[in-house]
Amino acid sequence: MDDDSAWPVSYLACVPRQIGVLASHGQRPGTFVPPWVYRAVAYEAEDPFRQPVWVCSHNHNNLQDAQLCGSAWAQYSGPRDAST
C-alpha cells in the first residue's frame, strides 16, 4: 500500500492560505436583512478545488468588511477554536 496521504493537520499551519469572500443571500423570514451577506473564507492556495479550510461566522454587510475579517484571521497564528 503506497497511499501515503495524511490528514492535513499540521500541514494547514504552514501552507500559504488564500483569503476569499463568499457572497450569499441572507434569507431570514420576517426580518429585514441585506439582500446579500458576505463571509470571509480561507482556502489553501494550492488546492485546485478551493475547499474552504475556514469560513467566518459573521454576516458582513459589505465585501470590504469580509475581506478585512479574512485578512485579520490570516494574520492570527495562535490556537484556533474549532468547536463550531
- What are the residues binding Zn ion (CB under 5 A)? 40, 56, 58, 69
Query: CB 24 → Zn ion: shortest distance, Å?
Result: 13
Please state, in angstroms and rounded to a whole number, the distance separating the CA atoms of residues 51 and 40.
13
What lies within 8 Å, CB to CB, of 73 at 6+ separation is 19, 40, 42, 54, 56
Q: How far is the CB of 36 from Zn ion (least distance, A)?
A: 14
Q: By C-beta, is 21 or 44 nearer to Zn ion?
A: 21
Q: How far is the CB of 80 from Zn ion (least distance, A)?
A: 14
Return the amino acid letter for 21: V
